[in-house]
């Protein structure tokens, strides 16, 4: 590996760190969301397509409760290309992530409650410790649910044990529903 290749690799790692931090807190991306309580965050990170994160929040307007959805789509492939072409990678990284599309929408509470009801029958799968080594699977999925001092975060790849299938099926259905609530992603 040449010194130039190492320089780019070091900056690409920093790009991923900065972008992952932004995607982990979609409520902080512009425009910032009004305060609310996060109900669910879910994500889909493929190697060769745009990363997607959905955040469902419960909001209050007076005594009225409603659900607000934020979808964040990051064109990480284009962002990496831009970084490689940048004359000053450090300056470039100060504006990362820039290839992000943020879309907000209201969510039909009755339709969402059907997913909550379905989640009650999904059993948390047993932990799986795959063989150590290189993962050839390029897609990462996950869900995160927090409620006051309690939280649950699960992340997995496409190649999963069969015990995880009900959870992954439910997560895919939720992501599809969230995309229905918002105009199609690029």
Question: Alpha-carbon distance 90 to 95, whole Å?
Answer: 9
Kindly state whether residue 145 falls inside one of the protein's structural domains. yes
Q: N- to C-terminal Cα distance for the chain?
A: 35
Task: State pLDDT tens for residues 159-184.
Answer: 788 888 999 999 999 999 999 999 65
What is the arithmetic mean of pLDDT over 149-155? Answer: 87
Task: State pLDDT tens for residues 14-68.
Answer: 998 998 899 999 998 888 888 888 999 999 999 889 999 999 999 988 888 999 9
Kindly state whether residue 112 falls inside one of the protein's structural domains. yes
Which CATH number characterizes residue 82's domain?
3.30.1560
Kindly state whether residue 141 falls inside one of the protein's structural domains. yes
pTM value is 0.86
Question: With bands split at pLDDT 50, 70 and 90, how would you rate the model's confidence at 138?
Answer: confident
CA 32 to chain centroid, in Å, comes to 17
Question: With bands split at pLDDT 50, 70 and 90, how would you rate the model's confidence at 185?
Answer: low
Kindly state whether residue 31 falls inside one of the protein's structural domains. yes
The domain tally of the chain equals 1
Say what the pLDDT of residue 105 is: 94
Task: State pLDDT tens for residues 15-29.
Answer: 989 988 999 999 988
- Which range marks the domain in which residue 47 is found? 3-181
Say what the pLDDT of residue 137 is: 55
H-assigned helices in the chain: 3-24, 76-85, 89-93, 109-119, 165-181
Kindly state whether residue 186 falls inside one of the protein's structural domains. no
Kindly state whether residue 83 falls inside one of the protein's structural domains. yes
Q: What is the edge-to-edge ordering of all strands in the sheet holding 100-107?
A: 100-107, 64-74, 51-61, 37-46, 139-147, 150-157
What is the arithmetic mean of pLDDT over 72-95? Answer: 92
């Amino acid at each position: 590996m040449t010194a130039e290749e190492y320089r780019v690799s070091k900056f690409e790692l920093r790009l991923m760190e900065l972008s992952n931090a932004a995607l982990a807190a979609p409520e902080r991306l512009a425009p910032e969301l009004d305060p609310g309580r996060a109900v669910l965050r879910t994500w889909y990170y493929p190697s060769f397509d745009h990363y997607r994160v959905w955040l469902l929040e419960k909001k209050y307007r007076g005594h009225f409760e409603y659900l607000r959805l934020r979808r964040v789509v990051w064109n990480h492939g284009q962002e990496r290309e831009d970084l490689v072409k940048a004359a000053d990678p450090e300056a470039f990284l100060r504006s990362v992530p820039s290839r992000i599309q943020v879309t907000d929408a209201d969510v039909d509470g009755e339709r969402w409650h059907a997913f909550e009801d379905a989640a009650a029958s999904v059993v948390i799968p047993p932990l799986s410790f795959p063989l150590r080594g290189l993962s050839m699977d390029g897609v990462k999925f996950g869900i995160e649910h927090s409620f006051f001092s309690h939280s649950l975060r699960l992340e997995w790849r496409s190649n999963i044990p069969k015990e995880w299938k009900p959870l992954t099926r439910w997560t895919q259905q939720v992501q599809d529903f969230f995309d229905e609530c918002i105009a199609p992603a690029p």
